[in-house]
Amino acid sequence: MAADPYGRYGYYFILPFFLAFGVFWLYPIISTFVTSLTNEDFTQFGRDFIGLQNYAQEITSAGFWRSFMNTWIIWLPNIILQLGTALFLAVMLTNVQLRPKGVGVFRAIFFFPNLVTVASIAILAYAVLDWQSGVLNQIVFGTEPGARESYVFWLNSPIATRVVVALIQTWMWFGYTMILFMAGIQAIPQSLFEASIVDGASSFRMFRSITLPLLKPVMVYVVITSLIGGMNIFDLPWILTRGTGGPNQSLSTVVVYLYNRAFRFYQLGSGAAVSYLLLVFTGFFAALYLRFIGFGKEDA
């Protein structure tokens, strides 16, 4: 191997990244795993290795599974609504026959919710939904003294709170997804659409046979990133319920549960185990999805 006298400088240049990566990414990941094998607890000195006991404890805990189900109950309607809305709008805005005006303006407007911090939106939602002084109740039932009696305690309803979180997630992310879809559609060769028009295909047929199949890579990207983000949802449920997990623990998502284990009840070991369980489950469902849609196999 001929040594390049300057070759080692390359290492110096990439060293800062790897140092930062090692300290801020790799070390916490490994350290969290080690912690998950211990009974580390902020309320006591020292820690002992207890093997997989934390994992066993969490897998058999009703609280863990409830939070797991909560996360799915919030994510599933959100992703369906989000994909549907984004795809519809993307197809409309890129339609070669309609040629809508002001595409740029719509794109900016639809993307806008994504720029607002989740905390602000949660506080806004809280103000809208508040039981006695929320705008929603005032609009629906009026503001006369007698009307107060029919006010609905939205934030004390397991169904309403989940619906609200799912809708807010959809509202925040459909614009972003739409832009990805638009980019994906615009990357499809125009000649395919033109050829199908010549062959007399309807708009729906073009959508089903050209747009949708060729959008698959974008779709995979959107679903997988949304799955990861959705499984990690924390800030919105946390602020909306002030960290309590909401009525009947309905907004206690996996990460809210994790945070409570580790930083409210101070059992670091089991909190760390929950984070690894979350990783495993997210990976599993991502793999399942890829298999389901046959990603990676060449289309016939």
Partner 1 sequence: MRRIIIGVLVSALVVSGVFAGGKQEQVEVPDSFEGMELSIITFTGEFNDQGIVRDFEERTGATVNMQVVPNTDYEAKIRPLLATGQGVPDIFVGEAAYVRQFVEAGYWTDLSQEPFNADTSDMFEYAVEMGTNDEGEVVALTWQTTPGGWFYRRSIAQEYFGTDDPEEIAEIFSSWDSVMDAAETLKQESNGEVSFFAGIGETLFRPFYTARTEPWIDEDNNFTVDEEIRNYLQIAKEVRENEYDAKLDDWSGPWFDAMNTPPEEASVFVYGFPTWGLQFVLNGQEESSGDWGLAAGPDPFTWGGTWLGIYKDSDNKALAWEFIRMLTQDEEWMREYAERATEFMSNRTVMNDVREGFSSETLGGQNPYDVFFDQLQYVEATAIQGFDFQINQILMQVMNEYLGDQLTYDEAINALGRRVQEAFPRVNVD
Pick from 33, 227, 244, 289 the residue near partner 1 by CB under 8 A: 244
Q: Which is nearer to partner 1, 51 or 296 (CB)?
A: 51
Location of structure tokens 């919105």 = 236
Q: Dihedral of the CA atoms 250, 256, 262, 263 (nearest 10)?
A: -100
- C-alpha 167 chain-centroid distance: 12
Q: Is 118 exposed, middle or buried (0-12, 13-18, 19+ CB in 10 A)?
A: middle
CB of 60 to partner 1, least distance (A): 10
Pick 160 or 228: Cβ nearer partner 1: 160
Buried b (16+ CB within 10 A) or exposed e, 186-202: eeeeeeebeebeeeebe
CB 180 within 8 A of CB 218: yes
Contact range with partner 1 by CB under 8 A, out of 41-49, 116-124, 166-174, 227-235: 41-49
**Single residue of 8, 99, 101, 297 touching partner 1 by CB under 8 A:** 8
The binder of partner 1 chosen from 263, 283, 291, 295 (CB under 8 A): 263
Our finding on whether 32 is near partner 1 (CB under 8 A) is: no
> Least CB distance from residue 131 to partner 1, whole Å?
6
Number of alpha helices (DSSP H) and beta strands (DSSP E) in the chain: 15, 0
* Shortest separation between residue 45's beta carbon and partner 1, angstroms: 7
Residue 205's Cβ-side half-sphere holds a number of Cα atoms within 13 Å equal to: 11
By the rule CB under 8 A, 11 interacts with partner 1 = yes
Q: Which of residues 50-89 bind partner 1 (CB under 8 A)?
A: 57, 61-63
Considering the complex, what minimum distance in angstroms separates the CB of residue 239 from partner 1?
12
**173 within 8 A of 226, measured Cβ to Cβ:** yes
- Cross-strand bridge partners of residue 49: 38
Pick out residues in 149-208 that bind partner 1 (CB under 8 A).
153, 156-158
- Is 114 an interacting residue with respect to partner 1 (CB under 8 A)? no
Residues in the site for partner 1, rule: CB under 8 A?
8, 11, 15, 40-45, 57, 61-63, 130-133, 145, 153, 156-158, 244-245, 247-249, 260, 263-267, 270
